[in-house]
Amino acid sequence: MAAGTTPASRLACNVIHFLPYAPSRCQIGRFVHPKRFPSMQTRLGSALATIAFAAAGCSSNSGGETAATPMPPTLPGVYEGRFPCSNCDAIEATLWLRADGRFFLRQTLTDEDGAAGPSTPSSAYALGRWRWEEQAGETVLSGAGPERRLAVLDADHLRLLVASPVEHLLTRDSAPTPFTDRLVLAGESSVGEKSIVFKECLTGLRFAVADAGAYRELRHQHRQLKPRDNLAFTQVEGHLVYVPSADRATTSEVLVVDRIITLKPDTAC
């Protein structure tokens, strides 16, 4: 999802839309029947052996299934990369692969000096869920639009599988920062006596809403609309803050609603 009012044509020309990846298939060559060409009978045995060898290369068992690849235990993390761009210097990409199976992806257009492009804002976002596909040995991102796939090269490098001759590499960030970008979020809000909870639609993540920004306006609009079951489809512009626990051993994510865009009662994700 894109935040702000960036012209759609510019983002569409620059931000990579990763296409579904189709794994290659083994193809076994055709052989001529030996009765038609008797001279080939002496080579029939070797031909059959070649077929058997090729079939074994396609599959490790008689069922035609490839061997399962376990997910690398260190796969979750933050990865960064620099992708080609048609009319800017590059696209700076950052991918947060969360341990809870959700992902955030930010892509930012940059000029030659590394600064953001002339349009403000110039970033596009994707959110959703990710999973490990054992048969392909790939990470699959599912959100709005087509699925995106990533191959694991090693413990610190991912490759986005895209229809491009240029390799799209992402490298693990050794000192990652939390996701605090301000962007548009669509979800469901429910208002309690002393709190508001927001559930984001694509990821299913639930956030407590901080008593800041447009918090009181959101409570007021809920009271005015009186949604059934106290649940309303809500589109907001906001950002996450990270609040440490009392012993500072852990942190929790809290949503700050900066601006209310839409509030529709009796409607869900």
pLDDT digit string, tens, across residues 164-211: 888 999 999 999 999 999 999 999 999 998 999 999 999 999 999 999
DSSP sequence for 76-119: -EEEEEEE--SSSSEEEEEEEE-TTSEEEEEEEEE-TTS-B-SS
Within this chain, do residues 167 and 203 fall inside the same structural domain, yes or no? no
Give the CATH number for residue 108: 2.40.128.640
The CB-based long-range contact list for 240-246 (8 Å cut-off, 24+ gap) reads 240/178, 240/179, 240/180, 240/207, 241/180, 241/210, 242/178, 242/180
Q: What is the domain range of residue 209?
A: 183-265
Q: What is the pLDDT of residue 22?
A: 39
Within this chain, do residues 167 and 196 fall inside the same structural domain, yes or no? no
Within this chain, do residues 197 and 139 fall inside the same structural domain, yes or no? no
Q: What is the pLDDT of residue 75?
A: 97
128: left (phi over 0), alpha (psi -120 to 50) or beta: left
Q: How many domains does the chain have?
A: 2
C-alpha dihedral, 55 to 56 to 62 to 65, nearest 10°? -90
Q: What is the pLDDT of residue 46?
A: 53
Q: Is residue 34 part of a domain?
A: no
Tens-level pLDDT at each residue, the chain (269 residues): 444 444 444 444 445 444 333 333 333 333 344 444 444 454 545 554 454 444 455 544 555 666 889 999 999 999 999 998 887 889 999 999 999 999 999 999 887 665 555 544 589 999 999 999 999 999 999 999 899 999 999 999 999 999 888 899 999 999 999 999 999 999 999 999 899 999 999 999 999 999 999 999 999 999 999 988 889 999 999 999 999 988 888 899 999 999 999 999 988 89
Q: Is residue 42 part of a domain?
A: no
Within this chain, do residues 98 and 147 fall inside the same structural domain, yes or no? yes
Q: Is residue 76 part of a domain?
A: yes
Q: Is residue 27 part of a domain?
A: no
Q: Is residue 112 part of a domain?
A: yes
Domain end among 120, 148, 172: 172
d(CA 217, CA 148): 37
Q: Is residue 30 part of a domain?
A: no
Domain end among 172, 199, 214: 172
Within this chain, do residues 119 and 165 fall inside the same structural domain, yes or no? yes
Q: What is the pLDDT of residue 114?
A: 55
Domain end among 172, 194, 215: 172
The distance between the two most distant Cα atoms of the chain, rounded to a whole number of Å, is 90
> Which residues, 6 or more positions from 180, have their beta carbon under 8 angstroms from its beta carbon?
239, 240, 241, 242
Report the run of H or E that residue 126 belongs to, with start and end.
strand 123-133
The dihedral sign for the CA sequence 94, 169, 76, 130: positive
Within this chain, do residues 202 and 132 fall inside the same structural domain, yes or no? no
Within this chain, do residues 114 and 145 fall inside the same structural domain, yes or no? yes
Q: Is residue 161 part of a domain?
A: yes
Q: What is the pLDDT of residue 157?
A: 97
